[in-house]
Structures are given as C-alpha cells and as structure tokens.
Structure 1
Amino acid sequence: MSKSKLIFVSPCGKDQQDPPGRFEPDELYIGRLFQLRREAVEALRAVHDGQAFILSTRHGLIRPRGVKYAPYDAPERETKAKKVRVQAEEYGVLDAQVIAVASIDNIALLRKVFGEDQVVDMCRKVNPDLPVGRAGKSLAVAKYIRENADLCGRYIAG
C-alpha cells in the first residue's frame, strides 16, 4: 500500500459553539475528544506531509479552515458514503491513503468510500483492544497519538 498522497481525518464532535453564528470547523466543534483527535491529526501531519479533513455528520468531508458553518443538531450517522465519495473526488483525494483518528463507525464509512486497504485506523493500530464506545479510552489513545506522532508513523505507508 504505497501511496504518495496522504490525508488525515478526524470526526466532528457533538459539542458545538452556541448559535447564532457561523464558525470554521476547527472552532465550531468544542468537545475535548474532538480537540484531542484534531491535535493528534496535526501532530501526525507535522511528521508526515498531508492534508487534514474533518468528517462532519452533517457536511461530510470538510477542511478544518476556510468555510464557516452554523451549529446544527444532526441525528447520529447522518453522513452518507456517497456524499463523502463525491467530496473526496472534488478535493482530488479519492486515491489517497487515509490516516484516521476516529471511531469504528467513522472508520467503516471511510473504508466504504476509500477502500479497505487505503484507510489506517490509527486508534486501533495504537491500541488493538480499544473498546467501541469508550470515550475515556479514546481520549487516552488520541493523547498518545498526539504525543507520539513520530512513533505512530510506522503505520503510515509511503
């Protein structure tokens, strides 16, 4: 799996700024888990060149900066693979290796879009026993990735 193009993806967060207002995604989502995952992505990007994206429940695959969005209430798992695929094609990253610091559900969606072999589930590479739905463990894993991005690089091909 040698890909020259890398993208780093973290999911959105349930906790958001209070309306009214429009915010860039890095400012819209304010939860601790979101912040740690974004910090982990940025730490990985400091070691490996690539683009950062946020997988938003409402908006799909979006860049952390550049477009402002209003806070929203969205049912869980509203993001559809078809929408994300179209966005990935528009960004020119459909053939990229995806490094994701995300939940198992988001990993599954990314694998539908990009392909099983193109998505690296960084959380489960670092901790294969990470239980699904355990926020405390997810916080610890995201913090570990953030603080050890150079070591985590061994899971990134190319």
Structure 2
Amino acid sequence: MALGDKSVYSPLTTLKNLFKKPLTIKYPKEILRVFPNKDGVSPIYRGLHTNDLNKCVGCAACQRICPFDAIEMKTIGQNEQGRAIKKPVVDYGRCSFCAFCVDVCPTNSLKMSRHFIYKIKTVKTMSAKEEVEYVKEKFKLMPDESLGDDIGYNTGKSKKILG
C-alpha cells in the first residue's frame, strides 16, 4: 500500500476511537499532574524571565546574544560614580524563549520561570490602532524577582542537565 492510500479498516479505526475517553484536560478547571514534585509544566520549562536585580551588573551580554533583538537595556538610574545603571527589558512579542540570554548571563541573575500566562487588560474605548500600540508597549517587561518563586530553566552551571 502506497503512502496516503486509504485502508479498508479506516472506518473501524474511527469507531474504535469514538468511545475512548479524551486525553485533553479542562484547563483551568483541571490541573495537569505529570511531574511528581510540581504541578503543571515541566520543572525546566522556559516561561517568562525573572532577574535578580541585585546580581545583574548590566553587562548587556543577554542583549548581544539574543537572535531576535528582543532584549534592550534600559537605564534605571545612576550609581555613585555617575555611570548609568542599565537593566534588561524583554519584548515578549519578539522573544522565542530560546534561553540563550540565560545561558550567557555571567552572574547567573537571569533565569526563566515556569509562569507562561501574561494578561493585558485593555480599555474598551480605545480604537483598534490605539489598542495595538498599547498592547505592543505592555509586552515589553523588565524582568525582576516577582516570578522568582517558581524557577524553571536555569543555566545548568550548578546542576547536571545531562547524565
């Protein structure tokens, strides 16, 4: 039988699967329990970024390695010597969650959390064009410690990933 040819048993396969219990879950009413220690997604899931701002030195290594230019360095103040203090801002409209930025961080301050839901509330009186610009701006976030309670992917410098 050639690839793509129908089998005589195709209708029987359909009938067999008709009475099986579905494999989907009713999210958010049901929580997927796959991993023994944590609910939901994989323990090394790559979700939204988290950054320990006290460890971050503003070296911009994350910005240089990002293949989609999703990270820009934003000046948040000045230190005692008058130099600008810069921290990364991630544009989640461009981010592919590749975690190159996490791997290259020299201070290990940038990590990825297991959080993946990001909500934006828009104003109903906005026009369509205004709403698009509003959402574009809201997708640019400065990662901080707020998502640090549930760390997912990390560099693996302190733990063995393979083997």
- Decide: shared fold, TM above 0.5: no
Which protein has greater RCO, CA pairs closer than 8 Å, 6+ apart?
Answer: 1
TM-score normalized by the length of structure 1: 0.25
Q: Which of structures 1 and 2 has the bigger CA Rg?
A: 2
